[in-house]
Amino acid sequence: MTLREQVEQDFRNRFGAAPTVVVRSPGRVNLIGEHTDYNDGFVLPIAIDREVWIALRPRDDRRVSVHSLDYGASLTFELGPISRAGTDWAEYVKGVAWALQEAGHTLQGWEGVMSGEVPRGAGLSSSAAVELAVQRAFATVSGLPWKPSEMALLGQRVENKWIGVNSGIMDQMIVAGGRQNHALLIDCRSLEFQPVPVPAGAVVVVLDTGTRRGLVDSAYNERRSQCEEAARFFGVKALRDVDAKTFSARQNELEPLVRRRARHVITENDRTVLAAEAMRAGDLTRLGQLMDASHASLRDDFEVTNDALNTIVTLARAQPGCFGARMTGAGFGGCAVALVSPEPSEAFVQTINEKYKQATGNTPQCYVCQAADGASVV
């Protein structure tokens, strides 16, 4: 049974009727442009075919009632003033209601069943997938217009202000605005985005190392403040405003650690724009080289990889048909992404599973992904 069928069936068992609305919302994998979003820079992610599903129907009052199949737990609350009670899955639902109401939207109640298949804590944006799924649910029952960048900003607000994670805008933008068979080149300052077709000669493979590192938030916030310090040094709003030439001319005046952090962001922005060009031209070799260079920069200058990520990336690149590979997401654990020729992609996944297990004793989760549409009503 597909996940969609499961939530629909559970809905029927629970409410004695078929759902009138079904929404889906994808996870994401970033092809390149890492730790650039909060520097007002560029990112190039795809939405993936691993999704969160909600089967629901509107209520004629202001009550919201959601059952999570994954947690085997239910949540019921009334719209209006909402209070925070922790950081579990229920807070994402309540946080979305809070953010939408705070933005001035009048919401209608609904009841539904939710389940997701985006691995949690793996750097594939399971939380943005939940946020945008719940936003789609509210938008549908309440008749709100769906503008991807506005919805993305509201989702980010839930993350920043309700959950308390200081993340950038990439995850919600791609989850809200993703396009089937395309990556999006997103300008994280203007929030304009351009779809870029994923070339036919390659598939995207997610390589989940299985490692999850705690304290990601504090390391993430530390990187953010180092970037802000560098921007202050150059007298600009964000590192997006510093080009490679300006950086080279003055880099020696920077303290070495901050210099390396800034060098990553400035070179990564350039790589991301070049990667979108390479994708459009179907130049997979070039795209792969840029991904490799991104990983080196994240490993050596930004220092957000771990041994597991470095190992899996090295193994991936050594396989025939691999154009390039890099860590993806915030780092410190989680997933890498590889660009692989479609023909040996099954053999590729199998070899990586075996070799990574030999090297580390752990079994990774590797899967081929298709670029999917952003959150939608089906």
Q: In this complex, which beta carbon is closest to ligand GLA, that of residue 10 or of residue 208?
A: 208
Least Å distance between CB 8 and ligand GLA? 30
- Rounded Cα gap, residues 362 and 349, in angstroms: 15
CA distances from 76 to 94, 206, 321 (A): 9, 35, 50
Q: In this complex, which beta carbon is closest to ligand GLA, that of residue 315 or of residue 330?
A: 330
Q: In this complex, which beta carbon is closest to ligand GLA, that of residue 40 or of residue 171?
A: 171
CA distances from 88 to 74, 85, 219 (A): 12, 9, 22
Taking the alpha carbons of 81, 83, 87, 89 in that order, is the dihedral positive or negative? negative
What SS3 state is found at 253?
Answer: helix
- Rounded Cα gap, residues 29 and 50, in angstroms: 10
Q: In this complex, which beta carbon is closest to ligand GLA, that of residue 141 or of residue 327?
A: 327
- Rounded Cα gap, residues 24 and 137, in angstroms: 9
Residue 217 designated active-site: no
List 37, 171, 208, 301, catalytic entry: 171
Q: Are 155 and 135 in contact (CB under 8 A)?
A: yes
Least Å distance between CB 262 and ligand GLA? 15
- Residue 60, phi then psi, degrees to nearest 5: -95, 15
- Rounded Cα gap, residues 110 and 64, in angstroms: 5
Least Å distance between CB 174 and ligand GLA? 10
Pair of tokens at residue 77: 């609350």
Q: In this complex, which beta carbon is closest to ligand GLA, that of residue 111 or of residue 131?
A: 131
Q: In this complex, which beta carbon is closest to ligand GLA, that of residue 265 or of residue 340?
A: 265
Q: In this complex, which beta carbon is closest to ligand GLA, that of residue 32 or of residue 198?
A: 32
- Please name the residue that has the structure tokens 């925070």: 84
Q: In b/e form, how buried is each residue of 303-337, taking b as 16+ CB within 10 angstroms?
A: bbbbebbbbbbebbbebebbbbbbbbbbbbbbbbb
- The residues, ordered by sequence, that sit 6+ positions from 195 with a Cβ below 8 Å of its Cβ are 179, 182, 183, 184
Q: Rule CB under 6 A: which residues touch ligand GLA?
A: 34-35, 37-38, 167-168, 170-171, 329-330
Q: In b/e form, how buried is each residue of 26-37, taking b as 16+ CB within 10 angstroms?
A: bbbbbbbbbbbb
The residues annotated as belonging to the active site are 171
